[in-house]
Structure 1
Amino acid sequence: MTLTLSRRCVPLGALLTVALLVLAACGSAPNRTEGHQGQYVDEIPLQDDFDPEAHFDYAYSVATSSWDPTQSVSGYDFVFLAPVYDRLVWSSPNGDLEPMLATSWTPTADGTAVDLTLREGVTFSDGTPFNAEAVKINLDRAVGEGSRIATEIAQLESVEIIDEYTVRLVAPTGAGALVGSLSQRAGMMASPAAIESGTLGQQPVGAGVYVVTETVAANYTDFAKREGYWDPSVQRVATMTFQLMTDDQTRLNALLSGQVDGASVRAFQMNAADRAGFNMVSRPTSLFAYLTVNSAQAPFDNPLVLEALNYAIDREAIGNGFYEGMCRPQIQPWPEDSFAYSDEIGDGLDVWAYDPEKARALLADAGYPDGIEMTAVTTNVTAYMQLSEAIQYQLGQVGIDMTIQAVPTPQVIETFSVQKSVQANINPYSGVADPHGVASRHLLPGATYDVGAPVSQQITDLALQAATPVDPQERAPLYAQMMQAMIDNPTHLMPICSLYAIDAFSDNVSSVSMNTLGMQDLRGVALS
């Protein structure tokens, strides 16, 4: 189903957004520079009196369209996939990479490969043993033909089996970024027997904490504690249900009514959840809101139009107004606490300040004095539709008439990346948390959202160079150079603000945290 919103018929959500933006621009809105930041913790520690036979209910805005991780179309699929599929590497709440199915990883002396030592005695839920052969089968699929996540580990050249529990991952350009990728969908290990059967997309079989007992598309998934799991200490509830609720108010209502024990919430809902006594976890993440365009199609093949778009977007009004301070306005695609973030460039709001007059002048210089028309696609989740409406309003102030199509996640890729029937895409980034994820998803040739003219060779070269060293201190200056090159040669990708992710939980829920991925990994969740 496609919902189309035009500027000539603005829905109520857009009117509310517009009012908020106008107040912020006029200085009449409350000072929301800090918003809710710092009011909530990023972790709720485990309570000793938890009930190991409890049932946990959680509501989220996105559900996976396939139980085969290699067919995942969105990074947000991670939430539903994670209980079933352990990863080779675990990304801790603060972003540190720690052992999971791989107990250690060591770069080779020349830095062109990484050796993984695997955990022994692990089986998949169907009894198939986990070993080096299983890792090779999974990673060959993840990077192979037909994989929807291939670009996230495109640096992987080959997988070599050293012995039963050791593999060598050959990555001459990108070994440094590879390990981080293995903490997300590319590192999810599925049973080779289930892969061979061809049923993995409908019947998941992993080495994770839980197994799926029932799933109803576009509704819910039931999970049950798996017998024989290698780390039973994290199996703190017996069963779980994850419910798909794309509408923000529906999720909040489910939380307030006791239908669910936890839910993803938005910034404007935090006060209501707080007043009702719910505990919230929040932190800055690798997620960021963006506008991207097809730079191979006119008028977006003109660098002046790309510059005009950057000047037409009021990042502060969106980050501090619409997101109530829970999305830091900036032009960099990495959060402030990332090693890739350039302190010299900073938020970049002095580089591309909100300047509608300059935007109009640039459009005129590009040959469009009367403005342009465009169509943008977004995911049919309330918050993303409202973000699109805010951008729609801002672009309208400089003569850009934008129509919005709101569709399910798979159709975003189909319309923007495959059919190229729309000129723009407005959504939050949900790729790999490692800085290379931005390049592999948006900038490098073959990337899912690289649908326009190639970025400059300088940007491509710097992206590949920055992904190669294992030491973040060696990578950081390369990303700073890459960001400067993206300013000097504006690309089709326009970051707007760096998102804080927010979840709310009942007061009997513990052992939950918000991680730097911005997506819940509810491994070890407990209920008193």
Structure 2
Amino acid sequence: MRSTNSGRPRALAVASMATVMVLAGCSGGSGTTDEADTLTVNWGGFPENWAPGAEMEAGYLRVPYENLVALDAGGAIRPVLATRWKQTDEALTLTLRKGVTFHDGTPFDAEAVKANLEFIRDGETAYAGPLKVIESVDAVDAHTVRLNLSEPTPSLLTMLSTRATPMGSPKAIKAGTIVRTPVGTGPWAYDASASSRGNRMTFTYYDDYWGGEDSVGFRTVELHAIPEDSSAGVALAVGEIALTDTETTQLGSIKINRHLRHLTYPALRNNPMFFDRGPGGAFADVRVRRAACHALDTQEIVKLEPDFKEHTQHFGEGEPGYNPDIEGYDHDLQTAQALMAEAGSPQVSVEVLAAPFNEKQLRVYAEQLGKAGIEVTVRPAASPEYFSQWNSGRYALGLGSNDELTPYDWYKAWFAEGAPGNPAKVESAELKAAADAAIAAGDSDLADELWQKVTKIVSDEALTCAHLTGEELIAWNTEIVTDVKASSQPWETNLVDYKALRPAGE
């Protein structure tokens, strides 16, 4: 596990004073660990909430946490904390791995699974929606848990593989401390004494990890917070960090440095959501929603973000729910204005919350919507406020990432009457009937065709539109780390296969 490499590249000899200060803040201080055994990663910041079900990026979550199951490269379910499973229309029964403990010593057992799933299901994020199907959770014995379902849900195992459902210590969940201090079952446990608030979060190998020490290449993982891509690029080149996410603007510097490599993978689905659809709401009239969709010009966003790609719908070709008959909404300002006139030229004035990472896009959208007669005020907010409020119902319009992998999860998260992402709590009779039929079909041959009808209605009703996907760009220093590859878990940002990474020269 230890690296035999004693030198690190010094390709960039001069850095700005601001960069030097950033690097000093990230790498200095007491409690630092053996460099040869330490993987230093920069994702640009830290989650404000580490609790299971919170909206945190996977690159953070998958250091201390594990799921019950995962997806392999072919999309098949593979065991992690659950070793076997049996699913019927009425229940999903899981056999749990023995000999697993959380980082605080709490046993991982059926009661722990029950505590986690109920905590996430009863939460307020969109992740709660697809788990509402779980009517109750029975701890059959210490290592067997049964999820009793209100309706057939063949996609439930897929949901249990995603960042929506990591397993956290029930003791820490009950105490509320898990919000600030992650406690999972993964190879690395949070080490507060070796961390530096705001600069570095250190995770050290958990000696009682069920997978054993040989399952990982580094004993320590340090997460750093260098928000500027140029500063992170300098840190990467001089060996202060081993791996970072970055932007296409940095590719030139990466390519000319013989020690640096990069990869890209599809990681983000991006689309606006019309929340205020209830009676009298700003977007209650489907003509107003369609007008908004025609007013939006995603090509302008692609010019700003070259890694973005335009799509007619949420799901891609080959994925469940993809419907080739969905044409989407072409940018057509004349049609948008005509639809607004047909709707009676309503005075639509709404506010949208923006985070640092999507404010630029939202300001472009606000200008475009204004030309159709929809006035949008963009209110900047820090990321923590954004994640807790953007889809709370306080704002009529939102822009977020819908990372659900199946049409069932997408529908239950955002469009069903009781969905957490549907604060107006409205759903057309046509959409409900189509979804009910698709759900009743279970995993039959007819199911995908029925879910295609659901996604077509979502598009026709303009509940969302302007679909974009973005790629994650990861760069690393080959003199520090090797065997870097994207995770097999799809549509997760800031993520590599941590356990596959090995020190250079090992």
- Per the normalisation by structure 2, the TM-score is 0.81
CA displacement at 1:359 relative to structure 2: 1.0
Equivalent residues of 2:274, 2:283 under 8 A apart: no
Q: Could you tell me which of 175, 183, 192 is aligned with 1:205?
A: 183
- The C-alpha deviation readout for 1:105-153, integer Å capped at 9, x for no partner, is 2213xx2211211112222223332222222222222223677742241
Mapped to 2, the partners of 1:184 and 1:337 lie a distance apart of 19
Equivalent residues of 1:376, 1:423 under 8 A apart: yes
Equivalent residues of 2:151, 2:440 under 8 A apart: yes
Aligned: 1:282 with 2:264: yes
Residue matched to 1:439: 411
Mapped to 1, the partners of 2:362 and 2:248 lie a distance apart of 16
Residue matched to 1:498: 469
Question: How is 1:76-475 mapped onto 2 (pairs within 5 angstroms)?
Answer: 76=57, 78-93=58-73, 95-108=75-88, 111-144=89-122, 149-214=127-192, 218-232=198-212, 233-277=214-258, 278-285=260-267, 287-296=269-278, 298-319=281-302, 321-324=303-306, 326-345=307-326, 348=327, 351-368=328-345, 372-381=348-357, 384-412=358-386, 414-418=388-392, 420=394, 422-429=395-402, 431-452=403-424, 454-463=426-435, 465-466=437-438, 471=443, 474-475=446-447
Mapped to 2, the partners of 1:485 and 1:250 lie a distance apart of 46
CA 1:298–1:206 in 2, change beyond 3 Å: closer, same or farther?
A: closer
Mapped to 1, the partners of 2:176 and 2:319 lie a distance apart of 39
CA displacement at 1:246 relative to structure 2: 4.6
Deviates more, 1:372-381 or 1:225-234: 372-381
Mapped to 2, the partners of 1:92 and 1:281 lie a distance apart of 19
Mapped to 2, the partners of 1:355 and 1:65 lie a distance apart of 40
Equivalent residues of 1:294, 1:424 under 8 A apart: yes
CA displacement at 1:418 relative to structure 2: 3.7
Equivalent residues of 2:291, 2:339 under 8 A apart: yes
Residue matched to 1:481: 453
Mapped to 2, the partners of 1:409 and 1:178 lie a distance apart of 29
* Amino acid in structure 2 at the alignment position of 1:509: T
* Amino acid in structure 2 at the alignment position of 1:498: T
Mapped to 1, the partners of 2:100 and 2:422 lie a distance apart of 39
Mapped to 1, the partners of 2:124 and 2:461 lie a distance apart of 32
* Amino acid in structure 2 at the alignment position of 1:89: V
* Amino acid in structure 2 at the alignment position of 1:425: G
Mapped to 2, the partners of 1:252 and 1:437 lie a distance apart of 37
Residue segments in structure 1 that go unaligned for 5+ positions in a row: 1-50
CA displacement at 1:306 relative to structure 2: 0.5
Mapped to 2, the partners of 1:178 and 1:255 lie a distance apart of 39
- Per the normalisation by structure 1, the TM-score is 0.78
- Aligned residues with identical type, % of pairs: 23
Mapped to 1, the partners of 2:483 and 2:216 lie a distance apart of 13
CA displacement at 1:159 relative to structure 2: 1.4
- The C-alpha deviation readout for 1:432-452, integer Å capped at 9, x for no partner, is 433333223321234333123
Equivalent residues of 1:289, 1:499 under 8 A apart: no
Deviates more, 1:229-238 or 1:508-517: 508-517
CA 1:353–1:263 in 2, change beyond 3 Å: closer, same or farther?
A: same
Question: How many residue pairs were aligned?
Answer: 461
- The C-alpha deviation readout for 1:313-334, integer Å capped at 9, x for no partner, is 1234434x3332x333123112
Mapped to 2, the partners of 1:100 and 1:79 lie a distance apart of 18
CA displacement at 1:238 relative to structure 2: 1.5
